[in-house]
Structure 1
Amino acid sequence: MQDYFVAHWLDITTTILGLAYILLEYKASLWLWLVGFVMQVMDIVLYYQKGLYADCGMEFYYIAMTVYGVWVWKFGKKRNQAPKEALPVTHFKKSLVLPWAVATLAIWAILWYWLTLVGSTVPVADAFTTALSFVGVWALARKYLEQWLIWIVVDVVTCVLYFYKDIPFKASLYGLYVIIAVLGYLKWKRSMKAVSA
């Protein structure tokens, strides 16, 4: 049993950090970005060890988006936002749907091709979750309600992928993420209605 925990310590640690992260995201707490940064640094090592190269590379993007997210949540403004008011939850702009959809498909295709070249055993799923995550983390940084819908899709696929790649704790976390994402969507939607009422 001890050998199992020693072999999976990185998986366990990042799972605990991931749980804290998603709960802070659910609460729309600025602290999610700090917890996310620590988790992302450790995930680089974990994913590289497991041959999830797109996920590994994605963590560098997450780190950059963490800096961006802190800045936007702390200093960013949206139209009709009162001075000194916290960044409000809003809807994903309709004008951004088509460009982001095209970008996501292009990123998926490029990553899929690259992963087949580097010998990934799961190029389609790894590329898909990574491409969709580009949009998800950007939408989170902008505090768009629909970011939760993106994460539901990512989390379902990632849960299955991580069980397949023998990362059981993190896989279980992503299963829990699906539930929290549904609850987060409902909570953020209620907060939008409360602000507009």
Structure 2
Amino acid sequence: MQVLQEIIQQFKAIGYLEWFGVITGALCVYLAAKENILNWPISILSVVTYIYIFYEAKLYGDTILQFYFLSTAIYGWYYWSYGQNKSLKSERPVTKLTKNEWLIALSVWVIASLVFGYLLADFTDSDVPYIDGFCTATSFIAQFLMTRKKLENWLIWILVDAVYIPLYIHKDLMATALLYFVFLFIALKGYLDWKKNYKALSAA
């Protein structure tokens, strides 16, 4: 009962700013899974909010990541706009990574995780430098693949969302932890929907 009461108290302490980031974050990921181009402008609202939230929580890797998300939101909005139909659904085709693209992505992933972790450990007061670094690098890869409408982006998001949940609980960001729990299911649904579209296009 004491644990439940502590969780309830943590949720009561959540501010309006974090709830705004949670709602816009959930909405933009849901729209991305539906291939709706409005996910990008809504993503910008969520990203700007979380720049402040993560900085205050001393999650410096995630703070830097939000600036990256801001730039990719602008790029993704531009890229998806070509082939957009009247229903706001992007008609850019879903594609899969080639073997060479996988090798490049994995190499960048590993190197970036180590570099970010090292920098956060040596130059910040983060108490979770390598976990923060890993999540930052993983999100970098997943976000870029999403802008290019690569099917595998959802699999990488599922992995990093699962790691983020306990990290945000550790940082007392309970609403954000709940958001990433929801992200797990949205990412799974996004993967299944995009895979279905990919197979339909391949068959055609």
Name the TM-score, length of structure 2 as normaliser.
0.87
**3-state secondary structure, aligned to 1:121:** coil
Q: Give yes or no for the alignment of 1:101 onto 2:106.
A: yes
> Superposition pairs for residues 1-197 of structure 1, below 5 Å?
7-75=14-82, 86-117=91-122, 118-197=124-203
**Given residue 104 of structure 1, which amino acid in structure 2 is its aligned partner?**
W
Q: Is the 8 A contact 2:14 2:175 kept in 1?
A: no
**3-state secondary structure, aligned to 2:92:** coil
Shift of 1:56: 0.2
Query: Which residues of structure 2 form unaligned runs of 5+?
Result: 1-7, 84-89
**Given residue 75 of structure 1, which amino acid in structure 2 is its aligned partner?**
Y
Alpha-carbon distance in 2 for matches of 1:4, 1:133: 26
Shift of 1:184: 1.1
**3-state secondary structure, aligned to 1:129:** helix
Shift of 1:16: 0.6
Shift of 1:10: 2.0
Query: Which residues of structure 1 form unaligned runs of 5+?
Result: 77-84
Shift of 1:52: 0.3
Greater shift, 180-189 or 144-153, is seen at 180-189
Q: What are the superposed Cα offsets for residues 79-135 of structure 1, whole Å, 9 maximum, x if unpaired?
A: xxxxxx821111122211111211111111111111112121111211011001111
Alpha-carbon distance in 1 for matches of 2:9, 2:165: 25
Identity, % of aligned positions? 34
Q: Is the 8 A contact 2:10 2:172 kept in 1?
A: no
Q: Is the 8 A contact 2:11 2:175 kept in 1?
A: no
Alpha-carbon distance in 1 for matches of 2:137, 2:74: 20
Q: How many residues align?
A: 189
**3-state secondary structure, aligned to 2:96:** coil
Alpha-carbon distance in 1 for matches of 2:13, 2:169: 18
Alpha-carbon distance in 2 for matches of 1:97, 1:60: 25
Q: What are the superposed Cα offsets for residues 1-48 of structure 1, whole Å, 9 maximum, x if unpaired?
A: 999656522221111111111110110111110010111011100000
Name the TM-score, length of structure 1 as normaliser.
0.90
Alpha-carbon distance in 2 for matches of 1:60, 1:93: 28
Q: 1:7 to 1:168 in 2, by over 3 A?
A: closer
Q: Is the 8 A contact 2:62 2:132 kept in 1?
A: yes
Instruction: Give the RMSD, CA atoms, in angstroms.
Output: 1.9
